[in-house]
């Protein structure tokens, strides 16, 4: 997408209107207005989502699918309607949308069902050095149990994938290529079309961690031709405790269940059981009903705002923050330049631990993230223990970026640069 450099000034009025949809943005922290820049960790919730949760608990709280009374039917209709709207949001079939607790659980579902059924000694799984731990640890655990080889695409000093040796890493032995769409540390937007095409050339399946892309830009699973794609509700204005696994229908139908229990069965006898149809085969027990309904309200809200607009707004904010922060003494920005990154900026300050940076910024009401962001291999690559991260969403403003850079300058003064 081409960046519109004027969007920050042109859409200031729209942003201010959107901010009124988020009650928490009206609060103060340490006596000053909250500046919330921790959106890559979790986003704030609009009234539309809060009200949807409230209506469920006040008006039709009930278990779903098996009840024949009015409340159960209303809850079932609302829950399955949310599934259909979420499917449309990424251009999938509702049968291909499996509700999970989060993106982490969604990746684990693939690892422990598809992975156990399809991976053998001698096979290979390819991931990248910029993955979130959720797309590393499940494959490491399964590797120990099954005996396949786990390989990594390295990253460059600029924070992009080093694809110079992709043809040697991705071979006929590769059964799965699993990678992040947007890095939660570097902000790198990976060339997913190129990566998927390379996987297809050797017959490998593809899993995309879209936790940092689906909330921020249009994502079409059919156009991508992804086999699996995962994302979390709480990173896209939705509730915590709800995530999504998209899987191609033929793959989900061939996969064994993840957990056993209610609703994932069609018939249970003492001699054995038969499984329910997809997606219910992977949704054992009472699901996160309110949270699923809330996520449906969230995708409605994001669709109304417009994903193209959200992407432009965040990209412009990140570019502005990058330019401002690059001028600050002692600041090192991780990842590629503004044109190649999404709406976040992770950085270090010479001689200062990121936790101290975050604590100083908090005194000015500014919420950022500090740590390794569940991506230790990235920090190991750059020989740093942790970083600070400011991440933007549809309700952030240019003025908030100015407050961020002013607070970082204050930290520079405090620590004597």
Alpha helices in 203-351 (DSSP H): 221-224, 249-254, 289-305, 307-325
Q: Are 45 and 237 in contact (CB under 8 A)?
A: yes
The CA angle 44-128-167, to the nearest 5 degrees, is: 140
Q: Are 348 and 371 in contact (CB under 8 A)?
A: no
Q: Are 370 and 357 in contact (CB under 8 A)?
A: yes
| β-strand partners of 156 | none
User: Residue 300: left (phi > 0), alpha (psi -120 to 50), or beta?
Assistant: alpha
The CA angle 368-369-374, to the nearest 5 degrees, is: 160
Nearest Cα to 401, choosing from 340, 317, 344? 317
The CA angle 188-192-196, to the nearest 5 degrees, is: 150
Q: Are 128 and 153 in contact (CB under 8 A)?
A: yes
Alpha helices in 90-181 (DSSP H): 103-109, 116-118, 137-146, 166-169
DSSP label at 306? -
For residue 377, give Cα distances in angstroms to 115, 129, 135, 155, 183.
23, 6, 12, 10, 12
What's the alpha-carbon Rg for the chain, to the nearest Å?
22
Q: Which residue's entry shows tokens 């799984």? A: 125
Catalytic residue set: 374
Strands 28-29 and 331-333 come out as: unpaired
Q: Are 331 and 344 in contact (CB under 8 A)?
A: no
Upper half-sphere CA count for residue 396 (Cβ side, 13 Å)? 34
DSSP label at 112? I
């Amino acid at each position: 997408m081409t960046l519109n450099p004027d969007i920050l000034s042109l859409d200031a009025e729209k942003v201010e209107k959107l901010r009124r949809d988020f009650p928490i943005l009206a609060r103060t922290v340490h006596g000053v207005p909250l500046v919330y820049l921790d959106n890559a960790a979790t986003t704030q919730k609009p009234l539309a989502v809060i009200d949807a949760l409230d209506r469920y608990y006040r008006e039709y709280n009930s278990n779903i699918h098996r009840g024949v009374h009015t409340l159960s039917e209303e809850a079932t209709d609302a829950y399955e309607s949310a599934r259909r709207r979420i499917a449309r949001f990424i251009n999938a079939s509702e049968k291909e949308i499996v509700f999970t607790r989060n993106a982490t659980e969604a990746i684990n579902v693939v690892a422990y069902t598809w992975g156990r059924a399809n991976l053998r000694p001698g096979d290979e799984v390819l991931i990248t050095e910029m993955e979130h731990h959720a797309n590393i640890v499940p494959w490491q655990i399964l590797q120990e149990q099954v005996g396949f080889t786990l390989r990594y695409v390295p990253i460059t000093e600029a924070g992009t994938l080093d694809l110079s040796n992709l043809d040697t890493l991705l071979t006929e032995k590769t059964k799965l290529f699993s990678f992040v769409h947007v890095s939660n540390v570097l902000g790198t937007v990976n060339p997913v079309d190129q990566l998927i095409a390379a996987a297809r050339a050797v017959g490998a399946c593809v899993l995309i961690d879209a936790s940092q892309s689906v909330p921020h830009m249009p994502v079409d699973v059919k156009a991508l031709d992804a086999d699996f794609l995962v994302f979390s509700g709480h990173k896209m204005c939705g509730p915590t405790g709800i995530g999504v696994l998209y899987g191609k229908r033929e793959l989900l139908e061939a996969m064994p269940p993840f957990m056993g229990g209610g609703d994932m069965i069609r018939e249970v006898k003492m001699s054995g059981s038969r499984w329910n149809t997809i997606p219910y085969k992977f949704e054992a027990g009472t699901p996160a009903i309110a949270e699923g309904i809330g996520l449906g309200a969230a995708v409605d809200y994001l669709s109304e705002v417009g994903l193209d607009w959200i992407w432009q707004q965040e990209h412009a904010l990140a570019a502005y923050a990058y330019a401002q922060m690059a001028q600050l003494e002692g600041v090192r920005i991780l990842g590629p330049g503004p044109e190649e990154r999404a709406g976040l900026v992770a950085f270090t300050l010479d001689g200062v631990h990121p936790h101290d940076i975050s604590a100083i910024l908090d005194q000015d009401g500014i919420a950022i993230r500090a740590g390794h962001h569940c991506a230790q291999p990235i920090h190991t690559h750059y020989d740093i223990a942790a970083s600070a991260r400011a991440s933007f969403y549809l309700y952030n403003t240019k003025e908030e970026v100015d407050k961020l850079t002013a607070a970082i300058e204050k930290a520079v003064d405090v620590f004597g640069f």
